[in-house]
Structure 1
Amino acid sequence: MSEPARFPVPDVVSRRAISEGEAGLAWLANLDDTLSSLEQDWGLTIGPALPGGTAAFVAEATTETGEIVILKLGTPGTLAGRHEAEVLRRADGRGYVKLLRHDPDRHAMLLERLGERLDTLELPYERQVDIMCATLLQAWMPVPADLPCPTGADKANSLAQAILSLSYDAGQPCAQAVIDMALMYCQDRAAAYRPENAVLAHGDPHPANTLALLDSEPPQFRFIDPDGLAIEPAYDLGVLLRAWHEGIAGPHAHDIARSHVRHLTRRTQVPSEAIWQWGYIERVSTGLHLLQIGQIEEGRIYLDVAEAITSTMG
């Protein structure tokens, strides 16, 4: 009978690794040895996995000097196409969690410890949006010439393919006008991509990826888990917009949704129409994705709001 693992892996992370095939299975099988070697090489004492992660082993660790830090090891499949460590290294704490050490061969990062997640603070979503806008204004930076990130055109085209595939698999889950509008906007954003207008964007700046900086007064926040995209700033703001459902119903649904976009523009000075289009695309693609993974009720909220917007556009 084999001994139990020293570092048990949360079920959701284990399932994610298994779904990645041979590479994920090997990562899972070697995880105890990898963590033990990191303890020795980096002078750490690693604690149990923290809750909340879905695609990485994340745990608190204590350094030889008694400092508490965060150790993160992503599964191999989740690292494909992402530039998390590079974004964090270049940001050096500006708008992002600070990267302390990185070992690409072991997919390991040592990060500063942050505080509570924004989504746990029971703030109105508009207040959460304001916090994330302020943090994005710190985080956006020029795209490094030596960092081959996916571009805005790549993102628009991949979202169009996902919307087509997911809507077909779901069997007409919403009005065809919603799908047609999202695909038209994907085409518009792909055509609008210009390298000179791009920033190194987060790619998924939602409240669960926004954490409070410890001992900051007034409170400040930092992002975790960046994808790293070479894309217009409006894309990140579209991600904020996709979940801003408040009040979007009835005969004025479109006008209310547009008022949310104007709020984002006032906070960031980013042009409204690009935010609007990315937000619509993200709302539809996210709703379809949630249906695919079995989160039916939440997915329907996204798609019902998109239908309400589309049907009241006039």
Structure 2
Amino acid sequence: MSDSARFSLPEIVRRRAEGEGPDGEAWLAQLDTTLAGLEDEWGLTIGEALPGGSAAFVAEATDATGASFIIKLPTPGSRIGREEVTVLAIARGKGYVRLIRQDADRHAMLLERLGDRLDDRELPYMGKIDIMCATLLEAWMPVPPGFAWVTGAEKANSLAGMILRLNQQLGQPCSPAVRDTALMYCRDRAAAWRPESAVLAHGDPHPANILEVPETDGHQWKFIDPDGLAIEPAYDLGVLLRAWHEGVSGRHAHDIARSHARHLTSRTQVPAEAIWQWGYIERVSTGLHLMELGETEQGREFLTVAEALTL
């Protein structure tokens, strides 16, 4: 995109697109034209890009009546392996941000405008957990037929491959016990997958992916940015568990972390052992991924906690 481009792009999104090769470069070069065309066809005025995202152009847009929406154009690479627009279309605003309209050719979405992100709220993590659990119970749906959803078995196997690859690539920051425990849990979850127990899950629920519904005083929230997986509900809860580091240290670390898993069960009635296994897998894979991205200190924190939980 030239210096004279009308629509600015956060540097982190630009770098993401540039790293996606020819497709990303074409997306950048066409961004101004794409957005101007959507303005004309959808009767919108698109504002400046909003901060906070890393894989899409996201901005506020207003129509002729002054109504406010959000427009989103993901980078080509960020769409791979995700079924965001399909999930939002199926959900129709239940548990998820409402999809107002889409342009399939340009991969553009017009979304309802929500409020603050949960991670911007001054709440203890358990309070955030309870909000996310309540919203997941609303968001989970039966798996619709006719789509090639990533299954729980496929997700477990892909995470096992990722852990092996990154652990080797990064000089084996995981102890053998942590690595082997994570791989054992991946085998367990892959073997446990059954289509009849799967839901259409978010795939990456965390406090930055859930926003307040305006004028509800924090009583209603909706998720954004779903991946869309045909997987047991315990997976989404394992994602919540992976970052629940509070108090998980010292000689009682394992017992405290197990109590966190039981708390998730108390809020959702999902079996604690499945939540525990997915949470452990996610702690290890997330720690390695953060190290791969250069976030070494944060990544090691995840792996240190995983080590404390390994019996």
| Structure 1 segment 181-192 matched on structure 2, within 5 A | 181-192=181-192
Amino acid at match of 1:104: A
Letter of the 2:125 counterpart: Y
The alignment covers a number of residue pairs equal to: 310
1:146 is paired with a residue of what secondary structure?
Answer: coil
Provide, for residues 280-305 of structure 1, a one-character-per-residue CA deviation record: whole Å limited to 9, x for no partner. 00000000011111111111110000
- Residue 240 of structure 2 aligns to a residue whose secondary structure is helix
- Is the 8 Å Cα contact of residues 283 and 306 (structure 2) preserved in structure 1? yes
1:201 partner amino acid: A
Q: 2:135, 2:30 → 1: CA distance?
A: 37
Unaligned stretches of 5+ in structure 1?
none
Cα distance in structure 1, aligned partners of 2:186 and 2:64: 50
How far has the Cα of 1:104 moved from its partner? Answer: 1.2
Aligned equivalents of 1:147 and 1:226: distance in 2?
15
Q: Distance in 2 between matches of 1:111 and 1:44?
A: 13
Select between 212-221 and 268-277 the one with higher mean Cα deviation: 212-221
Instruction: Give the superposition deviation at 1:174.
Output: 2.6
Q: Name the Cα RMSD after superposition.
A: 0.9
Match of 2:209 in 1: 209
TM-score, length basis structure 1: 0.97
Q: 1:31 to 1:266 in 2, by over 3 A?
A: same
Which residue of 2 is the match for residue 39 of structure 1?
A: 39
Which residue of structure 1 lines up, in the alignment, with residue 62 of structure 2? Answer: 62
The residue type paired with residue 292 of structure 1 is: E
Q: CA deviation at 1:65?
A: 1.5
- Residues 265-280 of structure 1 mapped to structure 2, 5 A cutoff: 265-280=265-280
Please tell me whether the aligned partners of residues 262 and 272 of structure 2 are also in contact (alpha carbons under 8 angstroms).
yes
- Cα deviation, residue 161, structure 1: 0.4
Give CA deviations for 1:106-132 in whole Å, capped at 9, x if unaligned: 010000000000000011001000000
Tell me which residue corresponds to 1:130.
Answer: 130
1:140 and 2:144 correspond: no
Deviation at 1:218, TM superposition (A): 5.6
Pair 218,30 (structure 1): closer, same or farther in 2 beyond 3 Å? closer
What SS does the corresponding residue of 1:57 show, helix, strand or coil? strand
The TM-score, its normalising length taken from structure 2, stands at 0.98
Matched residues, percent identical?
Answer: 68
Aligned to 1:299: 299
CA deviation profile, 1:3-37 (whole Å, cap 9, x unmatched): 61000111111111111111111010000000000
Unaligned runs of 5+ residues in structure 2 are none
Other-structure match for 1:4 = 4
Q: Does 1:102 align with 2:102?
A: yes
Secondary structure (helix, strand or coil) at the match of 2:61 reads strand
Q: Is the 8 A contact 2:119 2:208 kept in 1?
A: yes
String of CA shifts for 1:193-238, please: whole Å, max 9, x gaps: 0000000000000000010000114621100000000000000000
Q: 1:166 aligns to what SS in structure 2?
A: helix
Q: Say yes or no: does 1:246 pair with 2:243.
A: no
Shift of 1:176: 1.0
Question: Which stretches of structure 1, 4 residues or more, deviate above 4 A after TM superposition?
Answer: none
| Distance in 2 separating the partners of 1:229 and 1:65 | 37
TM-superposed deviation, 1:81 = 1.6
Q: Deviations over 1:70-98 (max 9, x none)?
A: 00000111111211011011111111000
CA–CA distance in structure 2, aligned partners of residues 307 and 13 of structure 1 = 34
- Deviation at residue 148 of structure 1 after TM alignment: 1.5
Q: Which segment drifts farther, 37-46 or 288-297? A: 288-297
Q: CA separation in 2, counterparts of 1:11 and 1:179? A: 35
